[in-house]
Amino acid sequence: MDAKWVGSVVSINCGLTLGVYQGAVSSVDHTSQTISLKQPYHNGVRCPVAEVTFSAMDIKELKFLDIQNTTNKPSSVPGAATEASHVTSGRHNQSSRVTQTQVPTSSSHSNTAPITILRRAPVGSSNSRGGTQATQKKTNVKNGGGGGFMRQRDDECFGDGTDEDLDTDFDFEGNLALFDKAAVFSQIDGTNSHTNRSQQHSRQDEQKPRTYRHDENILQGKPIAYRQISVPQHGGKEYCTDSGLVVPSIPYELHKRLLAAAERQGLSLERRLEMIGICSCQMALTLLGGPNRLTPKNVHQRPTVVILCGPHIQGAQGISCARHLANHEVEVILFLPNFLKMQESVTSEVNLFSRTSGKQVASVKDLPASPVDLLINCLDCHVNRLLKEQSWYQTAADWANSNKAPVLSIDPAVSEQCQSIEAKWTLSLGLPLPLADTESRVYLCDIGIPKMVFPGNRNQLPFTFWM
């Protein structure tokens, strides 16, 4: 290239690696075969440096966009532009039609022509702007050659034409300030002020029916009464359920009168024992893990339950629970010493338990030494307080405390002193008794007493379910 082209605006394609540069020619060195551009643009973006120098080995294509030499401009512009479009490395031989936008440069020379930035040609034009080398290579692979509709479509999608406005940041705050939110809402609502719009929304809300959440009651009922149980004799303590209902305790004398009245109405002792056995069995199965523990695939890890019983009604209740647990294929060990005198209900329950797969032992030595899954305590009696002083009772209590198994106590006796066996769960019958202050969690067992049996409380049903 001759030095007479200094000042002309050119476009240099250096391939995929270096990209396309545009700028005014500042110098041409024939010895080193280099050309320099001042105020260059790289792929349509202004370069941070004032001048860039290119070697002839890196130039793939050179195009003259604007000729600065005024002496030869009238006669040489057409030929030079045509010739420049063919001065390539043999890869591109097709002339391109461009749309030019002139951007003033910061050059100090008054006769320097503005820099020309390439734009994408109109879609309907016959010739589109020459694409990048990667685009042409992709088009050649698909269509077997350059040009065609595929090349034009790829150039429209993946062309590298840019705008000079990208150099300036977009003013988001200023653009947001142009949006009048109040005016838009006024147009939507058909009003001219926020007050009218608020009044209109309030009137619409009053006309709409109220919506309820999934946990709200849509029926307008009576005020909630948390004290629904009244007793003629209060035991001195009150309990509270998870839902907030207050359950009063009753003394043992009122408890006996309640059971006697139920027996006169047809709720016999055998029925009560069966109901207590079923409820206590269901609670024990829940504490053991329920269906997750008792599955056909878990035969080798059956839970083991030890039930300590005495020769009284509370012992018969524990034996009934043991029978139902054995029916659910739980490893049951029943501790019941060989007493000379036992109540008839105890003997009847023992005969039924002997028909199951459960194991019955009479000595503490026959109880397992390793911890078991659950221990059910039915040693205490409401009537005979001297049982705690007997040797068999103390030996069984010591074994239970040393076994470290969780304890479920069924119908424990009222005692002002601490319990011999500390229980984690306590199951009371009907209404709770004023038990000693312990960390035991109290549950209520429904033993099937009709509500008309409760004296002085014929219109209300006590909350007696433990689940």
Nearest to 392 by CA among 425, 352, 363, 357: 363
Measured CA to CA, the distance from residue 313 to residue 33 in angstroms comes to 116
**Cβ atoms 230, 213 nearer than 8 A:** no
* pLDDT tens, per residue, the chain with 467 residues: 666 778 888 899 998 888 899 998 888 888 888 888 898 999 888 888 889 898 888 888 888 887 765 444 433 333 333 333 333 333 333 333 333 333 333 333 333 333 333 333 344 444 444 444 444 444 444 444 445 566 666 666 666 555 555 567 778 877 777 777 777 877 776 655 555 555 666 666 666 676 777 777 767 667 778 888 888 888 788 888 888 888 888 898 989 988 898 888 888 999 999 999 999 999 999 999 887 788 877 777 889 999 999 999 999 999 999 999 999 989 999 999 987 678 889 999 999 999 999 999 999 999 998 999 999 999 988 888 788 888 999 999 999 999 989 999 999 888 655 678 889 999 999 888 888 777 789 999 988 888 777 755 444 444 333 32
DSSP string, 409-458: EESPPP-SSPPSS--SEEEEESS-----S-SPEEEEE-----GGGSTT-T
Is this structure's pTM higher than 0.85? Answer: no
Between the alpha carbon of residue 127 and those of residues 89, 123, 124, 158, 462, the distances in Å are 21, 9, 9, 17, 94
Phi, psi at 415, each rounded to 5°: -145, 130
> Could you identify the residue written with the tokens 């040609």?
121
Q: Residue 301 class from Cβ within 10 Å (0-12 exposed, 13-18 middle, 19+ buried)?
A: exposed
**Cβ atoms 198, 182 nearer than 8 A:** no
Other beta carbons within 10 angstroms of residue 198's beta carbon come to 12
Measured CA to CA, the distance from residue 245 to residue 460 in angstroms comes to 13
Which residues neighbour 244 within 8 Å (Cβ) at sequence distance 6 or greater?
226
**Cβ atoms 448, 275 nearer than 8 A:** yes
88 secondary structure, DSSP code: B
What are the chain's domains? 3-166 (2.30.30.100), 238-453 (3.40.50.10260)
- H or E element that contains 258: helix 252-264
Which residues neighbour 385 within 8 Å (Cβ) at sequence distance 6 or greater?
413
Other beta carbons within 10 angstroms of residue 277's beta carbon come to 23
